[in-house]
Amino acid sequence: MMHLHRFNPGLVISSLIYLHSSLSEFGGFARCYEMTDLSSNKMYAVKVIPQSRVSKPHQRDKITNEIELHKTLHHKHVVKFSHHFEDQENIYIFLELCSRKSLAHIWKARHTLTEPEVRYYLKQIISGLKYLHSRGILHRDLKLGNFFVNENMELRLGDFGLAAKLETVEQRKKTICGTPNYLAPEVLNRQGHGTESDVWSLGCVMYTLMCGNPPFETLDLKETYKCIKEVRYNLPASLSPAAQKLISGILQKNPSDRLALDQILNHEFFTKGFTPDKLPPSSCVMVPELHPPSPAKKFFTKMAKSFFGKKKAKGRAAAQQSSVFVNPLVNLVWFMETEDALTPAAVSESAVKVLNNCLATMPAGNGAQSRPQSFLWVTKWVDYSNKYGFGYQLSNQSIGVLFNEGTRLSLCDQRKTVHYCLPDNKYFTFPADSLPEQLRSQKQIVELMANYMEQNLMEGGDLHCEDQVSGCPPLLLQWVKTDHALVMLFNNGTLQVNFYADHTKIILCKSSDDSYLLTYISRERVSYTYLLSMLNEMGCTSELRHRLRYVVQLLQHHADA
């Protein structure tokens, strides 16, 4: 027994959920649903095609050809075909369920992906594409919406509505089909599709994932086609040289000049770059913490073992007693991680709890008085995660970068001191002029971002830090960009939310006596700082109350994602 129902947002009403519309319209013929077979509890993606849409012979032939072709395909990176049937109203095609939806959804949430992520997905796409081409099949509609991602973050190539058997040059159909932004020049010139046309689309996919938009996208379709025919596009300087070379090698006007799939895999972009074995589900909505093998990490692991041997102090007391080692040659300080180190989830959960408690009991009206306080907050930031990581400036002028692979490097004390933190929370402190060679390239990247922020960005408000804070600065644990705001979580428990539209900001942190402070920076860049306990008793403006509710909803949403 099977139940089919459309999804009602916010209410799961049956075993079948309507997945999406714009990316599941399959050439205007079908919609895609998530379905559970109640007799076996097995879940499928079901493509439902109204009979009214296939009333004409050529429409029926199209669906029949798609079914007959897809049912012959068996590959790890191709959506699995299960079975199909039809009734008087619809045709039902049962396919492997990919619960993470598609790369289009991930791209919409993230806008750009890091190079390791792009390599991860492209390798799987190429694997599936090589299989198709080896069987003489052209996909002819490669785009983000047709790369599906399952529960385990594995990619599946799907939607074979435009797929066709490979033909000789003379036999190739001259019909223009596919998605405009991804069409190859020879397709637009009605020379027909070959394997090289799929490769061209693959290059457009790579560019879109790394740059945030398709290479030939314009506001006018005719202009887009003209740009494609002339191979006229821009390669952003933010792309690595290897990425630029690979994209250029793929997007060649003459199909015979394009790199083949094996040549792409053997390109330095893949051979010299880190590719993760797996991506975390959180990468669907935020930059993942990846841990590639790095000379710096090996260097510090080896150093730590030579200092302390293989035994690690346990518990806070042991860490406090034996966590500091000073090497007089390089003035190196090494701190062992403590077992109660804060995680992004812990910071987020704590913020949700105290804000919810405050909102639940806060009276109407605005009775709380702002009071000056000194604490560290982010005054400027720059997202360079498509190549390196996320950079920020704190109110004491220290600069930090959370690198894509999970390490953190901060420049403090007027750039005289370097703090370096590994993903496992061990960190090191060096004088900037005695930095190990393994860290010098990362320090240069931090300086690059620091100079950019200093020369191009305004301070985020009138709230300044009067005191220089000694020791390791707060370290960014995680950052998330939503459609409306930037969220930053720090290892000292600080939460900062910057709203894009009006540049207002919310900062939740702890004061020296461990009480919570809530700071609001208005659109006029004026700051107001309150004891959260006072807001709880005396209320706040409706403007601030509205933003606090949004922050709670935002944190809860990403905790569930």
Domain ranges of the chain: 17-95, 103-281, 340-560
Gap between the Cα atoms of 86 and 126, Å rounded: 33
Distance, in Å, from the CA atom of 395 to the CA atom of 397, rounded to the nearest integer, reads: 5
Which residue spans within 38-80 are E strands per DSSP? 42-50
Cα gap 376→286, rounded to integer Å:
24
**Measured distance CA(519)–CA(534) in Å, rounded:** 12
Q: Are 388 and 404 in contact (CB under 8 A)?
A: yes
Instruction: Decide if domain 17-95 falls under CATH 3.20.20.80.
Output: no
Half-sphere exposure of 365 (CA within 13 A, CB side): 8
C-alpha 475, offset from chain centre: 20
Domains 103-281 and 340-560 share a fold: no
The residue among 47, 50, 52, 54 whose CA lies nearest residue 16 is 47
Spell out the long-range contacts of 544-551 with Cβ–Cβ below 8 A and sequence spacing 24 or more: 544/520, 545/359, 545/362, 547/497, 547/499, 547/504, 547/506, 547/520, 548/355, 548/358, 548/359, 548/506, 548/518, 549/359, 550/484, 550/485, 551/351, 551/355, 551/495, 551/497, 551/506
Element (H, E) at 508: strand 505-510
Residue 176 confidence (pLDDT): 62
Sign of CA dihedral 366, 372, 373, 379: positive
Is 141 catalytic? The answer is: yes
Report the CATH number of the 103-281 domain. Answer: 1.10.510.10
Residue 331's region, left for phi above 0, alpha for psi from -120 to 50, else beta, is: left
What pTM does this model have? 0.55
Catalytic residue chosen out of the listed positions 37, 87, 141, 424: 141
Integer Cα distance of 387 and 456 in angstroms: 19
- The pLDDT profile of the chain, 561 residues, written as one tens digit per residue, is 344 433 333 322 233 443 443 333 334 557 888 888 888 888 999 999 999 888 888 889 989 999 999 999 999 999 999 999 999 999 999 999 998 999 999 999 898 999 999 999 999 999 999 999 999 999 999 999 999 999 999 999 999 989 988 866 554 555 566 678 899 999 998 887 889 999 999 999 999 999 999 999 988 889 999 999 999 999 988 899 999 999 999 999 999 999 999 999 999 999 989 999 999 998 998 888 887 765 555 555 555 555 445 444 444 333 333 333 333 333 444 444 464 578 898 999 999 999 999 999 888 888 778 888 888 999 999 998 888 899 999 999 999 999 988 899 999 988 899 999 888 788 788 899 888 888 888 999 999 999 999 988 888 776 665 444 556 789 999 998 888 899 999 999 999 999 988 899 999 999 878 889 999 999 888 899 999 988 988 888 888 999 999 999 888 877 665
Class of domain 340-560: alpha beta
CA angle 482, 487, 491 (to 5 degrees): 150
Q: Are 391 and 382 in contact (CB under 8 A)?
A: yes
Kindly state the tokens that stand for 161.
């509505």
User: Encoding tokens for residue 474?
Assistant: 């707060």
